[in-house]
Amino acid sequence: MAKEVQVLEYLASGNSVHDGQSWVCEACDTFQIDVPGGSHTCLAYEPIGISLSERIDLQPGRRLENAPCENIKLDNIQEALPDDSAKILARLVEAECKEPGPQKIVNDRATIYTSRSLDYESGVVYPILTDLGMAMLGSAEYSHAIQAIPYRAPEVILGMKWNESVYIWNLGVVLLCGEHLFGRDNERDALALMIKYLGPPPVEFLKRSDVYLQYFDEQG
């Protein structure tokens, strides 16, 4: 969470006039909550809609066809509420007051309510970039894991040193099709699907990794 706060503060300090600035979910506020187990960082955002991954799950065949946002990393995208979102939220509040949803009281202090679906009046939605906790700043070399598995570059899977160039892999994968080309569950399956579609990687490339023998033999 501290990393995400750092990235959000960095983006806010840039005073960017780029059109893309409007599509990054910036925190309205950050604060600390102290509990017996330690201190927790909390981020407050404006209300946003479902993620594009959830949107895909709602589509026939679980695939976005001719979607304007199919070239974006789906796990970290939320759909923006339309311009009349205040009216949508007002209707939700009114509905809850008239017909309160089932709720559960915990320890006489916390109330848990059931979720309600947002009623989009328009078929037009816009993508909002979220979940920046794994974003890296600058052009240094790193070796820790980043990226969701469907978009994870082979250098990252194999524990090699990497820099910002691994995001070109992201771009290539998400531009190619509107579905998870290399699976979505584990790194071993992702590597297997890469080899299925692209062929085996060069041995010279594999030997840059200290752990490649977990997946390959000496000949690749």
Contact indicator for 215, 195 with CB cutoff of 8 Å: no
Q: Residue 121 has what DSSP assignment? A: S
Tokens standing for 183? Answer: 């699976």
Q: Is 84 among the residues known to form the active site?
A: no
Contact indicator for 191, 215 with CB cutoff of 8 Å: yes
Tokens standing for 1? Answer: 């969470």
User: Do you know the residue count of the chain?
Assistant: 220
Q: Name the active-site residue from 83, 108, 119, 217.
A: 83
Q: What are phi and psi of 176, to 5 degrees?
A: -70, -45
The tally of CA atoms less than 13 A away on the side-chain side of residue 36 is 0
* Secondary structure percentages of the chain, helix, strand, coil, to 5: 40, 15, 50
The catalytic residue positions are 83
